[in-house]
Structure 1
Amino acid sequence: MLAGVLAAATVLAAGCADEAREQQAPPAPVPAELSRFYTQIPAWEPCADFTDPGETLPPAAQCARIEVPIDYADPDGPTAQLAVSRMRATGAKIGSLLINPGGPGISGLSTVTLGGGTELADRFDRVGFDPRGVGASTPAVDCLTPQEADAERAELPVPNTAAGISEAETENREFADRCVARTGTDFLAHIGTREVIQDMDIIRAVLGDRKLNYLGYSYGTRLGSAYAEKYPGNIRAMVLDGAIDPSQDPVAESLRQAAGFQKAFDAYAADCVQAPECPLGTDPAQAVARFRALVNPLWDAPAATTDPRGLSYDDAITGVQQTLYGTDFWPVLTVGLTELAQGRGDTLLQFADMYNGRRDDGTYNNVTDAFEAIRCVDDPPIDDRAVVGRQDTEYRRAAPFLDDGRGTGAAPLELCANWPVPNTGRPHDISVPGLPELVVVSTTGDPATPYQAGVDLADQLGAALVTHEGDSHTVVFTGGATCVDDAVVSYLVDLSTPAEGLRC
């Protein structure tokens, strides 16, 4: 049933607001050559065949596959099958809420549990999806075998000497070659944001919604802002949490993120040193030096773990960054660093495995492969050696806890500089006249998508900004702020704009 019709039938005030908003712009017409995709009827079934081994969705969840063209310029050509999940509304339904958890490369099927216990679950079908190339969607991006992934993570780091730079760039080319061999350039060229937002519009229509309701986290905010540019008349409501600023180039974005992680590390260190057993000592001014003393020896040899792989330098850094995504992980980081001081690395290895998608049986999901492939097609490559050298130097300054002290002013060209297909996106300011009012949520101490990016995105979209005071990466429906959740539910259900300047 159409969202506006149902809302008018059940909640008059919300229905009137919805109707007024829908009149702002008509839905975009569906190209005739794509009509068969927009009118398909999904076959819903239990989700057991869609999830990772050991992972389950609630019994009430249903899953289906939705067909989309791999190349929208060739709709009669090869197709992909998107894995989609849903939890049905338990009350008077407004419509569907499509949810993306970020990444890129992260499966979204489990997002159907978000907002449980709130009015959101009563009024919306909550819908998750694995974007093309990701998770249970087919075909999937495939680059490394489990053995190759383990070997790559175990490698000792190389210095930024001429020989080290050459070695690193050779390894990048080998990774790209494996992606081509196992995935193919035809698919790699069509897995970026440009295609995913078109997939999202098909999902919207297949679910029976005249207008999109959307909740996007982190990279999911990039999908949301890009969808708003292409389909401004197809939006009822949109919440973007943990924003990516589409106007930032990859260098500026990486430096802003470096500063964000340093801020998160400093906050953790200030909290840790209050306890006498803190592995970083008792003086926050010495925390970076103490941290580097713990991780620098891993350049030469891994730390011992019960797993025969050991903890490599790269995995230690990955594990630490993973625990800085939220304050709930800070006690675990203290355990991990305490172990490292004792020559052990089990806890940090566990978090590095989590980040890299390594399962208990030694296999991997494809989150890392998909992440690399999608980012390389989404953004222009950084292929100027002078720029790469300056970026490395400035990154070390912005995040001294990540500076191994071995900078030379030069650095390897990164993976995307030799990617086998061209990029399809570019940094730009967003300006979309006639958008309904959207909502951006930004957290002051977010390490991965720093607060200012949310401020900037809200300004470009003309969106309402909700500020969360905290040290976490995203907050909506994570249990971090009831005040944020209440504002988001009210907006999604009743289209009530959050109070101007709302801080939680």
Structure 2
Amino acid sequence: MRAVVRRAAAVVVAAGLAAAMLAGCVTTAPVAPDRTPVVSGAPAGFEEYYGQDVDWQECTGFDDGAYYCGTITAPLDWTDPDGGDLDLAVIVRVASNGESKGSLFVNPGGPGASGVDLVLQSAGFAVGPELLESYDVVGFDPRGVGRSTAVRCLDAVAMDRYLFDIPAAPRGTSERAAEQRQSASAFARACEKNSGGILPFITTENAARDLDLMRGVLGDAKLAYLGYSYGSFLGATYAELFPQNVGRVVLDGGLDPSIPGAVVGARQAAGFQSALGAFLTSCLAGSECPFTGSRDDAQQQVEDALAAVDASPLPATDGRMLGADALVMGIVSALYSEGSWSTLSSALTGVLEGDPDEMFDLVDRYYDRYDGTYLDNSTEAFSAYNCMDYPADSEEVEAAAEAEVAEDAPTFAPYWSSDVDLCDEWPYPPTGTRNEIHADGAAPILVIGTTNDPATPYEWSAALAEQLSSGILLTRVGEGHTGFNKGNACIDDTVVAYFEDGDAPTGDIRCEAG
């Protein structure tokens, strides 16, 4: 049984905003007069990439800042300077005070989330008001993602079938596994057919090399970086490859790079189970909770609801059927943020009354789907990165992970794993490894962990900070995914002081709720 590795995008932006396009460019102008590329230290054979000029064009963001959009050319294959190119979409919001400290690169997670959209739509949410003043905030779509040279698989209708069609055969049967394998194989073949030969090069290591290229092209001798969730893995990978280029780096919602993929899925299941418990406690204390009795009673009622829709899926207004797998997705989507708990309560009320439409709204938020249209390619890019980054696990590891899910996440356990792994059907074998990351010689790196983070459990941040030779752990006591700019003054002030003045704490810090 293969565990499902959940997406871990840190930022959920309102669906309506994602329709904004960069096509409204109005003039050509440099981001700043002193953006001279830094070519020194470029990998041998790739100096021309580092020294390239970018045709920056002014574009309009969702605040009154000055925004510039451009495309950076990267090598398709970082082992072959003559192996062809791909495009990296970049957006820069210029420092509001006019005296920039340099570039602050930000990645929202995923893998597969768009950093261009994040900065375009929500730059203040991404880095906070203080850093908007003093840094040129840089959003980018990693290779394979969004406006960069992208992974392409299915159109919206076919994607709906792939994600939401419920197999005809009963759960746990070989006939059901055969249906799922056929679906996974068709998806993988479509990705290979429609992605223009890029799939073997969609890896986090290549994306980290792209990040160093963007640093050099934008004229920064050192990297300033804020990576959320999966973005912490990207940032840690960068630090391992280029420790001498690490400037001020913050990894929020850390991933432990040393644990196998099946264990990642198992620990996430436990994280979401813990978050579900916190949600149910809060729900029962309110006046509009659909559940009754103790927290254990409420948990049993959730499990009964999952079993009920697994046996008899509920029809939505748009014709989709809500089965147990989709219901798990909707619940998980809301558990990323405490601010979504009231919506989850209302959606679960609807499910119990036979109306799944609001729950499908939560499912669609998870998949970046709006009104029948997928707003980006995040689901496809997520699959491409994970299938190349995670080596196959042994049967022993998978069995242990499955047992862990059964014990630590009983609500989700029946639906968390699958007999079929998409990556077994992927057209290329994985090239990634699971090892500790030390980044010996790097400047101080701050790692933020939230104690009841469901998607990137706190233990991962603690492990990453321990592995990094210069890691410093900032603990946010609280709920939800990631910790910076979430209202905890202790976390926020520490991160801002670090980026503004280079003031790294001398040791780990624990920040209580508030």
TM-score range, shorter chain: 0.7 to 0.9
1:498 is matched with which residue? 505
Distance change >3 Å, CA 161–CA 116, structure 1 → 2:
closer
Letter in 1 for 2:401: Q
Q: Is 2:45 the partner of 1:33?
A: yes
Q: Distance in 2 between matches of 1:228 and 1:419?
A: 29
1:87 is matched with which residue? 93
Q: Secondary structure at the match of 2:111?
A: coil
Q: Distance in 1 between matches of 2:175 and 2:395?
A: 15
Q: Distance in 1 between matches of 2:71 and 2:179?
A: 42
Q: Is 2:362 the partner of 1:351?
A: yes
**RMSD of aligned residue pairs (Cα, Å):** 2.5
Q: 1:489 aligns with which of 492, 496, 508?
A: 496
Q: Distance in 2 between matches of 1:117 and 1:268?
A: 27
Q: Secondary structure at the match of 1:246?
A: coil
After TM superposition, list the pairs within 5 Å mapping 1:396-415 onto structure 2. 396-404=406-414, 411-415=418-422
Q: Secondary structure at the match of 1:459?
A: helix
1:103 is matched with which residue? 110
Q: Distance in 1 between matches of 2:175 and 2:396?
A: 17
Q: 1:230 aligns with which of 241, 260, 264?
A: 241
1:376 shift after superposition:
0.5
Distance change >3 Å, CA 116–CA 421, structure 1 → 2:
closer
After TM superposition, list the pairs within 5 Å mapping 1:310-349 onto structure 2. 310-349=321-360
2:433 is matched with which residue? 426
Distance change >3 Å, CA 214–CA 179, structure 1 → 2:
same
Return 5+ residue gaps in structure 2 as ranges.
Answer: 1-33
Q: Secondary structure at the match of 1:273?
A: helix
2:388 is matched with which residue? 377
Q: Distance in 2 between matches of 1:388 and 1:415?
A: 15
1:27 shift after superposition:
10
Q: Secondary structure at the match of 1:294?
A: helix
Q: 1:417 aligns with which of 401, 417, 424?
A: 424
Q: 1:43 aligns with which of 47, 51, 55?
A: 55
1:60 is matched with which residue? 66
1:240 is matched with which residue? 251
After TM superposition, list the pairs within 5 Å mapping 1:106-125 onto structure 2. 106-112=113-119, 113-114=123-124, 118-125=129-136
Q: Secondary structure at the match of 1:400?
A: coil
1:263 is matched with which residue? 274
2:466 is matched with which residue? 459
1:198 shift after superposition:
0.7
Q: Is 2:480 the partner of 1:472?
A: yes
1:193 shift after superposition:
0.6
Q: Distance in 2 between matches of 1:160 and 1:219?
A: 31
Distance change >3 Å, CA 474–CA 27, structure 1 → 2:
farther
User: 1:64-120 CA distances to partner (integer Å, 9 max, x unpaired)?
Assistant: 111001111222232111111111012322110000000000111133313666331
Letter in 2 for 1:424: T
Letter in 2 for 1:469: V
Distance change >3 Å, CA 46–CA 396, structure 1 → 2:
farther
Q: Distance in 1 between matches of 2:277 and 2:115?
A: 31
User: 1:353-391 CA distances to partner (integer Å, 9 max, x unpaired)?
Assistant: 111121335344211011011101011023x55654553
1:495 shift after superposition:
0.8
More strand by share: 2
Q: Distance in 2 between matches of 1:318 and 1:401?
A: 13
2:146 is matched with which residue? 135
Return 5+ residue gaps in structure 1 as ranges.
Answer: 7-25, 49-54
Distance change >3 Å, CA 364–CA 144, structure 1 → 2:
farther
Q: Distance in 1 between matches of 2:127 and 2:74?
A: 30
Letter in 1 for 2:244: G
Q: Secondary structure at the match of 1:329?
A: helix
User: 1:434-486 CA distances to partner (integer Å, 9 max, x unpaired)?
Assistant: 22111011000000000011111111113111110111101212x33122111
Equivalenced residue count is 470
Q: Is the 8 A contact 1:27 1:210 kept in 2?
A: no
2:78 is matched with which residue? 72
Q: Distance in 1 between matches of 2:63 and 2:200?
A: 32
